[in-house]
Structure 1
Amino acid sequence: MLTTRSVGIIGMGHVGAHVASALLSQGLADELRLCDIDEKKLAAEVQDLHDALLFHPYNTKIVNCGDAYEELSGCDIIVNAAGNVAASSTDRDGELFCTTDICRTFAERVAGSGFAGIWVNISNPCDVIATEIWHLTGYDPSRIIGTGTALDSARLRAQISLACGDVDPKSIDAHMIGEHGFSQIAAWSPATIGGVSLSRLALDYPERFAFDHDEVEELARRGGYVAMAGKRCTEYAIAAAAARIVAAILHDEHAVMAASTLMRGQYGEEGIFASLPCVIGKNGVEQVFELDLSEDELAGFHGSCAHIRENIARLTWW
């Protein structure tokens, strides 16, 4: 029996609109159900996406759902991209109060409508919002996935690539972990290129693979704000990261990527969402990997989790 792959998107600003476009260009969804409280903006995006269908691989049904969040109940995946990008112009924590307030306008309505799919959260602070969705809905936390440091890990690999003479980033296995924010850290100890540790490569081929880890880590950590400084938003890369997670779910790939998931005792952390490498498939997060971290890296991860908790403690629902 044929099944319809349906993806809902809440928030059709810069990021939500680009997620929709990425899903169309990759042929990932048979149906898009789109929500936004700005009627004119939503109508404009629906029109533009419809006009582009001829140039995408498959026809897709695109539905304007306005703010009728209950109409997302039959979706396989709901992507939350609702927020106020201007508030995060200098720090992802800047959206803390507005995005959590926005989330309260729809999360329980979606859950009450009978939604049984998977949440993919983009909205910042990503880990806080993912934790809030869990608390508001009582949903199975393995079926709530934050994009988390998926994008930050891509930025880290891109910077390592540049530092190592343009080695293909796809050949690099390295992750940013912890918060999707300035407290995130690079897990250098387990990082490899082609299965060989970076530390070994730096010893054997220093002319190519010895580089300043702190500098590269900071470039990755601050990469989004290079884009922010020039165009007041980030859109292409985060939309691509979200689409990658959607693809892993819809295709049941069991793909391993950094993502924000509920901590259930990893490194002694629990009760909050934070990023570690996750196995992602049709049921959401299937497994979470604990990396072999140095003492400094482990301390950095705990510090990052502490910052997530500090943000949560600022909210009235906690």
Structure 2
Amino acid sequence: MKISIIGAGFVGATTAQRIWEKNLGDVFLYDIIEDMPQGKALDMMESAPILGIESKIVGTNRFEDCKDSDIFIITSGLARQPGMSRDDLLNRNAEIASNVAENIQRFSQNALVIVVSNPVDVLTYLIAHKTKLPKHRVMGMAGVLDSARFRYFIASELDIAPQAVQAMVLGGHGDEMVPLSRFATVSGVGIEHFLSKEKIEQLIKRTREGGAEIVKLLKKGSAYYAPSASILEMVESIVKDQKRILPCSAWCEGHYGVNGQYIGVPVILGRNGVEKIIELPLTEDELEALQESARHVAANVAKLNLF
């Protein structure tokens, strides 16, 4: 596999390291900042003799070096600062994403694309539109990260191993995301058996504000360790054709009452990209929350004036 990461900042470089250390393929780390991706790639490659990794990382400032990539991971763009929402990044990051999409269309017409840059659901729509790739080959990373945060917060509250907790967060990657507490379990047992309704609501709120919490603590920049781990899970499911069920920003055509739009839903993720959308039996309130989140994303997509 040839895996190209567009943007060699904190998210991109950490993602490159995780994918490379898993030996999932040769990684091409692209950035417009001269020599920066080359330096990061060289630093990682110098650890290969110690780690015993056979794959390579190549840093480049030439998009053509990413030609014929199997997977593109888009992390380029501005990061959030304290007081900013993901939507505040729309105009500047849309311009960057458009340029990336044009290069993908020019150099790699059969790739899978994972969009990470914010606002992720909107930019996933934009990149799918600009690249003209089949919709199932373009997806956004958000739900895996939001679900991991929800799982961790539950585990931390209960003082148990995070791996014992399963949970899923749907909807747009923003304040309107939909953490599904009804489906959250601890070793198969619903969390309502361990936590009060009030405590669950607090954890849902913290999940929705999870990114902002880290931005506030860092003072400058945003999260990258958990996002890069979330990207890795998606890439591994694709490269190994594991067909994991993961929440991703995927193209919906009537699913959950959402039509012609990217929004976070559970999907089967394999070698062909989004192979199937799983429709969970949601309550009326859960479905309305998901559709409201989709309407918010659609309003931001409309600001792009694509048509």
TM-score, reference length from structure 2:
0.93
Q: Deviations over 1:109-167 (max 9, x none)?
A: 2112243121111111111111111111111111112112110001111112223x233
Offset of 1:12 from its aligned partner?
Answer: 0.5
1:37 to 32, 38, 45: 32
Offset of 1:52 from its aligned partner?
Answer: 2.7
Do the aligned partners of 1:152 and 1:220 also contact (CA within 8 Å) in 2? yes
- 3-state DSSP class of the match of 2:53? coil
Q: Where does residue 298 of structure 2 map in the other structure?
A: 309
1:168 to 147, 161, 165: 161
Do the aligned partners of 2:136 and 2:251 also contact (CA within 8 Å) in 1? yes
Do the aligned partners of 1:179 and 1:275 also contact (CA within 8 Å) in 2? yes
Q: Deviations over 1:89-125 (max 9, x none)?
A: 6211121111110011121221122431211111111
Do the aligned partners of 1:72 and 1:115 also contact (CA within 8 Å) in 2? no
The question of 1:101 aligning with 2:95 is answered yes
Structure-1 separation of matches of 2:190 and 2:184: 6
Distance 1:94 1:51, change over 3 A: farther
Distance 1:88 1:13, change over 3 A: farther
User: How is 1:21-100 mapped onto 2 (pairs within 5 angstroms)?
Assistant: 21-29=17-25, 31-66=26-61, 68-86=62-80, 90-100=84-94
User: How is 1:223-238 mapped onto 2 (pairs within 5 angstroms)?
Assistant: 223-231=210-218, 232=220, 233-238=222-227
Offset of 1:87 from its aligned partner?
Answer: 5.5
Offset of 1:86 from its aligned partner?
Answer: 4.2
- 3-state DSSP class of the match of 2:35? helix
Residue type of the alignment partner of 2:195: F
User: How is 1:263-278 mapped onto 2 (pairs within 5 angstroms)?
Assistant: 263-278=252-267
Structure-1 separation of matches of 2:281 and 2:190: 12
Structure-2 separation of matches of 1:304 and 1:121: 18
The question of 1:12 aligning with 2:4 is answered no
Distance 1:57 1:130, change over 3 A: farther
Structure-2 separation of matches of 1:271 and 1:88: 33
- 3-state DSSP class of the match of 2:29? strand
Offset of 1:10 from its aligned partner?
Answer: 0.4
Do the aligned partners of 1:266 and 1:290 also contact (CA within 8 Å) in 2? yes
Structure-2 separation of matches of 1:140 and 1:55: 41
Offset of 1:252 from its aligned partner?
Answer: 0.4
Structure-2 separation of matches of 1:177 and 1:299: 12
Structure-2 separation of matches of 1:88 and 1:57: 40
Tell me how large the CA RMSD over aligned residues is: 1.8
1:240 to 229, 236, 240: 229
Q: Where does residue 144 of structure 2 map in the other structure?
A: 150
Q: Where does residue 210 of structure 1 map in the other structure?
A: 196
Do the aligned partners of 1:156 and 1:220 also contact (CA within 8 Å) in 2? yes
Do the aligned partners of 2:35 and 2:60 also contact (CA within 8 Å) in 1? no
Residue type of the alignment partner of 1:210: S
Residue type of the alignment partner of 1:37: I
Offset of 1:88 from its aligned partner?
Answer: 7.5
Structure-2 separation of matches of 1:56 and 1:77: 24
Offset of 1:174 from its aligned partner?
Answer: 1.5
Q: Which range moves more in the overlay, 299-308 or 68-77?
A: 68-77
- 3-state DSSP class of the match of 1:209? coil
Offset of 1:62 from its aligned partner?
Answer: 2.2
Structure-1 separation of matches of 2:284 and 2:82: 31
Residue type of the alignment partner of 1:228: V
Q: Which range moves more in the overlay, 74-83 or 189-198?
A: 189-198
Q: Deviations over 1:57-103 (max 9, x none)?
A: 4132222331x323322221111001111458621112111111001
Name stretches of at least 5 consecutive residues in structure 1 with no aligned partner: 203-207
Structure-1 separation of matches of 2:65 and 2:304: 29
Residue type of the alignment partner of 1:33: F
Name stretches of at least 5 consecutive residues in structure 2 with no aligned partner: none
Do the aligned partners of 1:179 and 1:308 also contact (CA within 8 Å) in 2? yes
Q: Where does residue 205 of structure 1 map in the other structure?
A: none
Structure-2 separation of matches of 1:144 and 1:57: 32
Structure-2 separation of matches of 1:58 and 1:89: 41
